[in-house]
């Protein structure tokens, strides 16, 4: 009988090892299912925008007066079309497109938005919507900045200014 107890003890150890191995395999499969295979669903890399027309040299404007004020950029004398400006944030690039007619700013948007942008930079799209509405209404880059997203607004206005500079004759 003494030999039987040793066999039972060894069988318990084997059962524990098999149970732990099965749990580890299940955990590995769950991790692979959740985090693996995303590469097939990820959006394609953004295509390069059409080349912008180089901006003509212009006079330097005086700096804005007062805290939170933006420099006034008069509109007009554009070459009609859509112009792009890049915002580089960490490992990603956000492409801001500005559509202009000969004398007006028609639309400002983010070109080819992707899912990760909404996750990592959630304030970019709502802030751009607020700013673009003000710019299209006033036809000026002199917009009211809110205290909630001052840095996001500053980056977006700078990108819009770059695209408008490229659109100038």
Per-residue pLDDT of the chain (169 residues; tens, 9 = 90+): 555 665 555 778 888 999 999 999 999 999 888 887 654 444 444 444 444 444 333 333 333 444 444 444 455 688 999 999 998 887 788 889 999 998 899 999 988 777 777 788 888 888 889 899 999 999 888 888 777 888 888 999 999 999 999 988 6
pTM above 0.75, yes or no: no
Q: What pLDDT score does 61 carry?
A: 38
Per domain, the residue ranges of the chain are 2-40, 81-167
Q: What pLDDT score does 71 carry?
A: 43
In whole angstroms, give the CA distance from residue 122 to residue 131.
Answer: 15
| Fold adopted by 81-167 | Sufe protein. Chain: A (3.90.1010)
Task: Assign residue 97 a region (left: φ > 0; alpha: ψ between -120 and 50; beta: otherwise).
Answer: beta
Which two three-digit tokens encode residue 164? 């408008």
Q: Other CB atoms closer than 10 Å to residue 81's CB: what's the count?
A: 14
């Amino acid at each position: 009988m003494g030999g039987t107890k040793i066999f039972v003890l060894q069988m318990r150890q084997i059962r524990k090892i098999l149970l732990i191995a099965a749990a580890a395999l299940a955990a590995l499969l769950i991790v692979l299912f959740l985090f693996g295979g995303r590469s097939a669903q990820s959006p394609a890399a953004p295509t390069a925008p059409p080349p912008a027309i180089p901006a003509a040299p212009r006079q330097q404007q005086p700096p804005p007066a007062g805290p939170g004020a933006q420099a006034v950029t008069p509109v007009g004398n554009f070459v009609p079309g859509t112009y792009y400006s890049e915002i580089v944030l960490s490992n990603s690039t956000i492409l801001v497109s500005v559509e202009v007619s000969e004398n007006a700013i028609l639309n400002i948007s983010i070109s080819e938005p992707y899912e990760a942008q909404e996750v990592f930079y959630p304030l970019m799209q709502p802030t751009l919507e607020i700013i673009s509405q003000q710019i299209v209404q006033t036809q000026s880059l002199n917009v009211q900045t809110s205290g909630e997203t001052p840095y996001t607004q500053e980056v977006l206005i700078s990108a819009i200014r770059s695209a408008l500079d490229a659109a100038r004759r």
